[in-house]
Amino acid sequence: MDAIDTSPAIRARSLSKHFGPVVAVDGLDLTVRRGEVYGFLGPNGSGKSTTIRMLCGLLRPSGGDIDVLGFKIPKDAEALKRRIGYMTQKFSLYEDLTVTENLRFLAAVHGLPRAESKARIIQTLERYRIADLKTRLASTLSGGQKQRLALAGTVLHAPDLLFLDEPTSAVDPQSRREFWDSLFELADEGTTLLVSTHYMDEAERCTRLAILDHGRIVADGAPGELMSSLPGRTLLIESRELPRARQVLQGLPTVIAFAQIGASMRVLVADRDGVESDLLEALRSSDVEATIHAAAPNLEDVFVAATQKPPMPRGEAA
């Protein structure tokens, strides 16, 4: 066993990346401790992929400092590549190779000794339940199977740090749950994970997470912390005239955001005394009948408050 290293796995300071006039990442500060399952939550285009690519040394930052597992990036990127695993958003193994052939290729590319790699491949095939598929071409696998193969390929060389870029965007809910169980197994064995997602339920499972918006981290912390320190309150409004209720409330300064959930509407309001009665008053004066209850805050509320935008649809790709 390695001596316990208490330095952070990832530390980035004022990291930025420009593509011509487009600012993809804008002065981002990030610290990921060892053994964490750290989540990047954000809409598409918020800079999640670009940040991950910079942290792995695949992209050269326009500014800022990166330190990953003690390596200065991009200077020591090549040395870092032996210690990390990177699972791309799109399936990036060879479709025209079989499951075993893909894994053998990756074992060799990562320089696993021949004798060790054979045992390691068998073990990995079993662990990710693809042993029955080992002679199948990767192109014939289902979305969930492909994703298990991709994860198997990413952890084959037992990396200390895993980067997973929206790993579950192409799989069904059942596979997503199983996949996250696999990630926690890896974390229990001491691997640090950085996972980007745009699913709230996934983000909620992370030990810590950062909410990204327009290339910046707009909130970060443990999901519980983020929810309890929500800068506002969540109210549930029930009415038969939701569209009109929404019109009325839209103009009020105390209302931060809305989200319609079925026949009711979640409203995020400033945390001030008498907000409920103000809202009721406003609705009543416009002849909208409605009832208001307090609701327990969830991560979606945190996300909405942090990004000041309507939240991502729950459980479906944006």
| Residue 94 within binding range of other proteins, rule CB under 8 A | yes
Q: Which stretch binds other proteins (CB under 8 A): 4-12, 33-41, 73-81, 209-217?
A: 73-81
Write down the least CB distance from residue 209 to other proteins, Å.
23
Interface residue with other proteins among 14, 44, 92, 229 (CB under 8 A) is 92
Write down the least CB distance from residue 110 to other proteins, Å.
6
| Residue 120 within binding range of other proteins, rule CB under 8 A | no
The long-range contacts involving 172-180, CB below 8 angstroms and separated by at least 24 positions, are 172/143, 172/144, 173/315, 174/144, 175/143, 175/144, 175/147, 176/202, 178/144, 179/144, 179/147, 179/148, 179/151, 180/205
3-state secondary structure at position 48? helix
Nearer to other proteins, 81 or 208 (CB): 81
Q: Which stretch binds other proteins (CB under 8 A): 55-63, 114-122, 166-174, 252-260?
A: 55-63
Q: Which stretch binds other proteins (CB under 8 A): 63-71, 81-89, 185-193, 300-308?
A: 81-89
| Residue 69 within binding range of other proteins, rule CB under 8 A | no
| Residue 78 within binding range of other proteins, rule CB under 8 A | yes
158 CB-side CA count, 13 A: 8
| Residue 82 within binding range of other proteins, rule CB under 8 A | yes
Q: Which stretch binds other proteins (CB under 8 A): 30-38, 91-99, 189-197, 218-226?
A: 91-99
CB within 8 A of 298, min separation 6: which ones?
Answer: 200, 204, 227, 234
Amino acid at the residue 88: T
CB within 8 A of 143, min separation 6: which ones?
Answer: 170, 171, 172, 175
Interface residue with other proteins among 30, 73, 106, 242 (CB under 8 A) is 106
> CA separation (Å) from 316 to 6, 91, 114, 196?
37, 19, 42, 15
Per the structure block, which two tokens stand in for 29? 């500060």
| Residue 56 within binding range of other proteins, rule CB under 8 A | yes
Write down the least CB distance from residue 86 to other proteins, Å.
4
> CA separation (Å) from 208 to 9, 31, 42, 226, 231?
14, 10, 14, 9, 18
Nearer to other proteins, 138 or 217 (CB): 138
3-state secondary structure at position 257? strand
| Residue 24 within binding range of other proteins, rule CB under 8 A | no
Site residues for other proteins per CB under 8 A:
19, 53, 56-60, 74, 78, 81-82, 84-86, 88, 90-95, 106, 109-111, 153
